[in-house]
Amino acid sequence: MAIINQATKELQVKIVYYGPAMCGKTTNLVKVHENIQTAREKGKLVSLATSSDRTLFFDFLPIEAVSIKGFKTKFQLYTVPGQVIYNTTRQLVLRGVDGIVFVADSQYEKMAENVESISNLEDNLRTLKMNLADIPYVVQYNKRDLPNVAPVDYMEFLLNNREIQVPSFSATAHQCEGVFETLNMITRMLLHKFINESTRKTA
């Protein structure tokens, strides 16, 4: 759950990148870290990974958006380990999540894994007494540069076919295409959510 620190005028928000194994969640964070334009000191990217560079627990990147009228907005980006066996770890990382980026692998042969992963996300949120419908989230169709990719419409039908369609982005994360578009959309959705909630409460 986001923290609003009234004393320091800070809003701290947690965003989790979720998706099947090897879909590019860590690459998204690496590219944000490498390419972000910031006047402030850049947060460190921490990866708790195995010796073969697979995420074991999570990756973590704290970033601060521009201060708006003296109000600091701090975002903490996390990834989960995609491998099926690490489900308990995914549940731990999801605790207190405010927004989700679902990263899907666009290759045809990965469709079953994408569907399984989004259904696993819903199950894990349920164990935390949360509901995907209540959480701002966006979908990213990654690896669009590969030859055997499924059409975006087909992926939308499979992964973004709920009552309310969420924003989705095509991406090639390793070339940093679509990475910032995805990040800006989820932060925008989160800020709007908090602004609306605060307006309702202060009204």
Partner 1 sequence: MDGALNDLLSKSEATSAFVLDKGGFLITQCGDTRRFDTTTLGALAAAMYAATQGIASLVSEINFSSVYQQGENFSILVQNVDEHCLLVIIFKAQISVGAVKYYALTTLTLVAKQLQTAQARSPEEGLDLSALNIADTADLFRKKQA
Residue 167 phi/psi, 5-degree rounding, is -60, 145
Of 40, 50, 68, 145, the one binding partner 1 (CB under 8 A) is 68
Q: Which amino acid is at 41?
A: E
Q: Which of 55, 73, 79, 114 is close enough to bind partner 1 by CB under 8 A? A: 73
Pick the piece of the chain touching partner 1 (CB under 8 A) from 73-81, 109-117, 124-132, 159-167.
73-81
Minimum gap (Å) between residue 121 Cβ and partner 1? 17
Give the amino acid at 91: Q
Q: Which span sits near partner 1 by CB under 8 A: 21-29, 38-46, 108-116, 165-173?
A: 38-46
Q: Amino acid identity, residue 19?
A: G
CB within 8 Å of 156: residues ≥ 6 apart: 165, 168
Contact status: 96 vs partner 1 (CB under 8 A): yes
Q: How many residues bind partner 1 (CB under 8 A)?
A: 53
CB-based contact 98:1 (threshold 8 Å): yes
Residue in 21, 36, 115, 152 binding partner 1, rule: CB under 8 A: 36
First-residue to last-residue Cα distance in the chain: 22
CB 152 to partner 1: min, Å: 21
133 in contact with partner 1 (CB under 8 A): no
- Identify the H or E element spanning 167: none
